[in-house]
Amino acid sequence: MSRDDKTIKDFGEQWRQYSDNEGYYGSVELFSDILFPFLAVEEIKGCRVAEIGSGTGRIVNMLLEAGVQHIVAVEPSDAFAVLVRNIRNSEKVTCLKITGDQLPTDGNLDYIFSIGVLHHIQDPTPVVEAVLKALRPGGRFLVWLYGKEGNVLYLALIRPLRVLTKRLPHFMLASLVEIMYWPLVLYIKCCHRLPLPLRRYMLSVFEKMSPRKRRLIIYDQLNPSYAKYYTRREAETLLIDGKFKNVRPHHRHGYSWTVIGTKP
Ligand SMILES: C[S@@+](CC[C@H](N)C(=O)[O-])C[C@H]1O[C@@H](n2cnc3c(N)ncnc32)[C@H](O)[C@@H]1O
């Protein structure tokens, strides 16, 4: 099995264990934070959009709440069944169990989103190429990627740990997450008083999640076979090399990259 196929399999299992989108994790408030500073939620109203790598459908439901006209939701893993089950207004959504590079290239979409997905694909170039073809001229592609900058200490810890954790069966990984959860709660408390690494992320995003979603986020860092942490240059280059114009990066909460580009 290729590394990409193994990653897709890992997510299929992950989303069957963590299948809901409760609280802040599935909220329009979080969506607005993800889109900042490039788009306001209101700008998407009435648009034709796609999301690459929909997982449990939280972004799809956020887009529906934002009032989009139609969504193509792409999810290649066995989480597809979870996605279909979680979608709130299925008339406006076309779900496709395909990889991102197989996105239908009709050239009529206003926006395509890929949130937390391309960093799990070894060579995302074919996906970016398919996105370019699927958009209308002037259509925009917004991606969110793990960042290297701001994560140096975190990566020094997580990289050696992942060598083991990405191989663990669910019950062992879930037990490890439980052990890590409580020190992390203490770390968040310390972040209120001290300028610790990842402080902005901890206080702006992680702390707002329910306990169950915090556990999922830890699990999500440790589970997938492949995860790349992008530098600003790599993140920009992904879209520039994909022939997008007006490519702009944003260092979201100092730990990740949101990048937007426009189809010429
Ligand atoms: C971290 S999850 C993000 C899910 C969703 N975008 C969200 O923010 O909740 C990454 C998703 O990308 C999917 N994925 C992995 N490889 C993919 C590929 N080649 N094409 C499309 N999706 C892929 C996985 O199955 C997984 O559901």
User: What stretches of 115-151 show up as alpha helix (H) in DSSP?
Assistant: 125-134
CA–centroid distance, residue 189 to ligand 1 (Å): 31
Identity at 7, one-letter amino acid code: T
Token reading at 211 = 């306990």
Among 214, 216, 227, 209, which residue's Cα sits nearest to residue 158?
227
Which numbered atom of ligand 1 lies nearest the CA of 114? 6
pLDDT at 171: 95
- Tell me the C-alpha distance between 250 and 35, whole Å: 10
Indicate the top mutation candidate among 11, 80, 97, 225 to test ligand 1's pocket, ranked by most ligand atoms within 8 A of CB. Answer: 11
Instruction: Look at residue 88 in the predicted model and tell me its pLDDT.
Output: 87
Ligand 1, residues 60, 103, 117: which to mutate, most atoms within 8 A of Cβ?
A: 117
pLDDT at position 212, please? 96
CA 89 to chain centre: 21
CA of 56 to the centre of ligand 1 (A): 9
Residues at CB less than 6 angstroms from ligand 1: 4, 7-8, 11, 52-55, 58-59, 74-77, 79, 99-100, 115-117, 120-121, 220
Ligand 1 center to 71 CA (angstroms) = 16
pLDDT at 79 over 90: yes
Question: Nearest Cα to 81, choosing from 113, 55, 110?
Answer: 55
Distances, alpha carbon 41 to alpha carbons 28, 82, 89, 262, in Å = 8, 25, 18, 18
Residue 94 host element (H or E): strand 93-96
Compute the mean pLDDT over every residue in the chain, rounded to the nearest whole number.
96
Residue 87's pLDDT is: 95
Return the percentage of the chain with pLDDT > 70, whole number. Answer: 100
pLDDT, tens only, 164-217: 999 999 999 999 999 999 999 999 999 999 999 999 999 999 999 999 999 999
Q: What pLDDT is recorded for position 227? A: 97
Does residue 109 contact residue 134 with C-beta atoms inside 8 Å?
yes
Q: Which two tokens stand for residue 257?
A: 């990259």
Confidence check: pLDDT of 1 > 90: no
Half-sphere exposure of 118 (CA within 13 A, CB side): 32
CA–CA distance, 206 with 63 (Å, rounded to integer) = 21
Is residue 89's pLDDT more than 90? no
The confidence band for 236, taking pLDDT boundaries of 50, 70 and 90, is very high
Look at residue 90 and tell me whether its pLDDT is greater than 90. Answer: no
Run of H or E including 216: helix 211-222
pLDDT band, very low/low/confident/very high, at 225 (cuts 50, 70, 90)? very high
Global pTM exceeds 0.85:
yes
Tell me how far the alpha carbon of residue 100 lies from the centroid of ligand 1, in angstroms: 9
Q: Residue 77 C-alpha to ligand 1 middle, in angstroms?
A: 8
Instruction: Tell me the mean pLDDT in the region 143-147.
Output: 98
Query: Which residue is closest in CA terms to ligand 1's atom 23?
Result: 53
Gap from CA of 81 to ligand 1 centroid (Å): 14
Nearest CA to ligand 1 atom 8: 115
Angstrom distance (rounded) from CA 35 to CA 140: 12
8 A C-beta contact, residue 128 and residue 122: no
